[in-house]
Structure formats: structure tokens, C-alpha cells
Structure 1
Amino acid sequence: MQVRSRRGFLGAAAAIVVASSVGSCTGRGPRGDHPLDVSADADLPAARESLAPDGTTIVIGNPSAPLSVRIYEDLSCPACADFELDGNGPYLKQAARNDALQLQFTLGSFLGPGSKYAANALRAAVDQGKFAEYHELLYRHQAKVRRSGGFTRDRLLTLAGKVPGLRGPEFDAAVLETKHREFVEASDEALDKSEVEGTPTMAINGALVRTDSRGLYDDRDRLYRRLRKASATA
């Protein structure tokens, strides 16, 4: 988990310990009695991707869905990669694709220029309807990229070439020219002004999931029960 002080975020990270229960995600059918009953490998259509009116939130799924889950993260944060690849990140994306919730992202960029370039590129991917695919891809390559010095514009374009339909004149120019720098700064400021103490941090219907509830980040069944409860009162 990336932590911050009053002066901002610090670079020390402690990876999330991924519980074995994460593997139980595939035990449920593709669609059960509730939209939250969805397996990690269910074949579902891509979810709608949009930028919220606040100008800093990227939304996957129906932006009018009463149940919302917000994720605060930095693309250079190793613990965020653990959450998005081996924790409950994939389940939440599936739930958004299954119309169970709107999944919101606030992208910080406190870990250096590479994080800012990545956040800018991800904002550009929203315009192409490819945020979710590109987001996962960047995390899959994060460790290797960090060993090479971090995300750069050229590396981000090279990785974008692995996402069918993402590369093109508009996207490439947005990455090379850092077109969405205002979004990047505003999103980082939104995270900095929040009550978030580190990344990744989750908020369910606006209520932060504190660090003493880390099991909700990697235990699929525990998160499912919390979301069902929140859904019933939304």
C-alpha cells in the first residue's frame, strides 16, 4: 500500500497479501439471482466508459447506477497492481460490465512523471472506449516498466499497440503531447484532498474502506457481501 504524509505521498510500498479466496471468483455462474453474482471469467459485453461531470472521475458502467465503487490508485503503485490483477479489481470490472454497479477511478500521480504520463494516456483511452483493456494491460506490464525506469510516452504507445483499436492519430497525439495534463493534475489534486491515506483505497457509495478492512480488497466473498448490503440500501 502506498502511504502519504501531510506533505503528500511517500514512495514506500507494502504489497497487498492476496487471499486464496480470490480464486473462488470463478465458482459462480456468469449471471445469478443478482447482477453482483458474476464470475471473473464470464463472457460479458464491454461496459460503457465515460468521464464524470466533475472532470476527474473515470467511470466504467452505467454512471446512473445507484451502487458505486470508487478506486483511488496510482499506475506506478505495486500494491495497486496486486489489487487490479490478483485482488478484487477484476471482479469489480466484471460487476460493472454486468450492470451491477458503476466503477469509478480517481487516478493519482504522486509517484513521479511516469504516473502522470500513464494517467494522461488512460484518459485518452476513455475517448476510444478502451480504458478498461488498457488499464489492465498497463498493470500487467507495470513491474517490468518500473525496472526500466517507469512509464514514458513511447512505452505507453508501444503497450497501447497491444490493445486492438486503441492506437490512432488522435490517441497517439494525446499521449505524445500530454493533451490531458489538466485532467491529470485535477485528478491528483482530488486524491490529495480526499481522506485517502494510501493506494489502493476503495470507497463504496462514498464511504471509504479503511485500512483495517483490507480483506475487502482481496477476499471476493467478503466484498460481495458488503456490496449486496450496500446495494440493498442504495
Structure 2
Amino acid sequence: MGTRWTPIEKAINQRYDDGDEMRIGRAFPMKNRNGRVTMSKKKSHKNSKERVLQKQAEERSRRMKNLIVGTLIGLLFIVGIVALVQSFSGDRNAGEQGVDEEIFDYDQQPVAGDPDAPVKIVEFGDFKCPSCKKFEEEIYPQLKKDFIDNEKIGFYFVNNQFLGPDSITAGIAGEAVYEQDPDAFWKFYDSIYKNQGLESEAWATPDFLADLAKKDVPGIDHKKLKKDIENETYSEEVQADKGIAEKAGVTSVPTLFINGKKVPGEKTFDYDYLKQRIEEELNRKK
């Protein structure tokens, strides 16, 4: 026997069978011969398959999103590490950018050691500067012992006199001594720092500087020296040195350059660092 329908069920199901049936089922469930409710096996299988496919698509989408997020986080991490390394490298090499050594005009500067040595160190200094005095007392003697006296390097001094008018006067005195006797300059260099007055006082007068040279710098014409200081004979040389300092980007004293590479300010008094840099340059020049 066929399925028995009530008149209302027949009317409604007939309407769906005429083209309005929704894919999710009829208005009333199907009944088998025993009157029990049944579902379409084909539709059940189809719906189950669609749900599986949907879940698989959702899982792929979730994995893709996780992959993209993970990749972005990884890239950001790598960029951060690279930036950190560059930062440390930048700190280590800060200020060590090379300049054209021709600007130092080596042939016109006082030099201790061998002017033809493969390593050249330039000190920019001010004779009134307390830190320059400290450098002359603590670092220069070690450089002299380890590298200058055995002529492994050439050590140059360039004026950067800016602490007052008498700084310039002291620079002129140094240039005047150098013009008379290049080797005598280093005796003046030692003496003026040993007898340095207060930074806040104008102590570097022509009389003081001439008397200092008479006491500690023998073998030069001291009358001519005093006259050259009073007449500012070598003021142009001091100003020329100032121009070199500006070209080299020098903003403080003492400032050192090793073969044209600026030594970071915080390393100026680190002799182990300076020694290592010098030895590296010596090995590189072999």
C-alpha cells in the first residue's frame, strides 16, 4: 500500500512537489509503508558531505591565517634582531667614519715618531683644555712608549683652540715654536700642559708663554718667539687648523683620528681600545 495522506497534507505536499519544494525537505516528513517518518538518504548524505567540506575549508582558512600571522611575527622578530645588531654595531663604530686624510695636511703639522709610518694618529687639542691635559699625562706617554719612540706610528697635533682668546694665543705660541724647530714643539707640548692654569682664567699670556719656553724649550730664539706671539705672526696657521677641525667634524677636544677614522669620544681615554685599533691598522698595512 502507498502512504496515506490527509487531505491537508496532500494539498501542501502537492504544492511543494509542483516546484516550490525546499531542498532541506518537504513541509511534512515522508512516511514509509508502516507510517513511520523517514528522511531522504541522498539528501542526508549530501548535507553531511557539505558540512565536512565546510569544516575542511574553515580549517584551511584558520591554518592560513595562523601561517600569515606567524610569518609576520617572524619577520618582525628578524627585523628587530637586525636593527638591534646594527644598533650595537653603530654604537661600536659611532664616529669611526673615515674622512679624507688629505684635509689633515700632514706635512704642515707637528709630528712625533715617523711621518712615513703606516699608521697616523691625529690629536685635535686646546692647550687650555683640562681633558687635553689629562690625555697628555695619561695616554700620550703610553702611546710614546709603545708606538712613537719605536717609530711604528706618526702622532700629529692639530690646533682646535676655542676656549678663549688666550687659547688662540697659546696656539700661536705652539706654531711659533714649531716654525723655529719642529722637534722643539713636543717639549712645548709637554710643558704647557704641565703648567696649565685654570680653564676659567686667561693665563696663557705672551709673557707667560715666552717665560715657559725659556725654562723648558731650549735651543730656540726666545726673543723672536715672544715677538711672534705678541704680533700674532702665526694666527693664520691656527685658524687654518680650526678649518681642518670643522671639515673633520670635530666638536670637542681632545679628538683623535687613526688613519682618518674618528675615535669615539668615550674611547679616547681607553688605552686598551686605542692599542687594539693601532695594532689592527698595523696588521692591515703589512
- 1:103 alignment counterpart: 155
Return the match for 1:66 from 108, 115, 118: 118
Return the match for 2:190 from 136, 153, 168: 136
- 1:177 and 2:227 are equivalent in the alignment: no
Tell me the TM-score normalized by structure 2. Answer: 0.57
Q: Which has the higher strand share?
A: 1
Greater RCO, 1 or 2 (C-alpha within 8 Å, sep 6+): 1
Return the match for 1:226 from 266, 277, 286: 277
- Point out where structure 1 has 5 or more consecutive residues left out of the alignment: 1-50
| Alignment CA distance shift 1:107-1:59 (3 Å) | same
Q: Secondary structure in 1 aligned to 2:215? A: coil
Q: Secondary structure in 1 aligned to 2:155? A: strand
- 2:171 alignment counterpart: 119
Tell me how far apart the structure 1 counterparts of residues 265 and 113 of structure 2 sit (CA, whole Å).
Answer: 26
Q: Among all aligned residue pairs of Structure 1 and Structure 2, give the percentage whose two residues are the same amino acid.
A: 28
Tell me how far apart the structure 1 counterparts of residues 154 and 208 of structure 2 sit (CA, whole Å).
Answer: 30
- 1:40 alignment counterpart: none
| Alignment CA distance shift 1:52-1:219 (3 Å) | closer
AA aligned to 2:269 is D
Shift of 1:133: 1.0
- Point out where structure 2 has 5 or more consecutive residues left out of the alignment: 1-104
Tell me how far apart the structure 2 counterparts of residues 93 and 118 of structure 1 sit (CA, whole Å).
Answer: 23
Tell me how far apart the structure 1 counterparts of residues 251 and 164 of structure 2 sit (CA, whole Å).
Answer: 18
Q: Which has the higher helix share?
A: 2
AA aligned to 1:182 is E
Shift of 1:105: 1.3
Q: Secondary structure in 1 aligned to 2:121? A: strand
Larger radius of gyration: 2
RMSD: 2.0
Tell me the TM-score normalized by structure 1. Answer: 0.69
Asked whether the 8 Å contact 2:176–2:234 carries over to 1, the reply is yes
AA aligned to 2:215 is K
Return the match for 1:203 from 250, 257, 281: 257
- 2:202 alignment counterpart: 149
Tell me how far apart the structure 1 counterparts of residues 169 and 211 of structure 2 sit (CA, whole Å).
Answer: 13
Shift of 1:140: 1.0
- 1:158 and 2:211 are equivalent in the alignment: yes
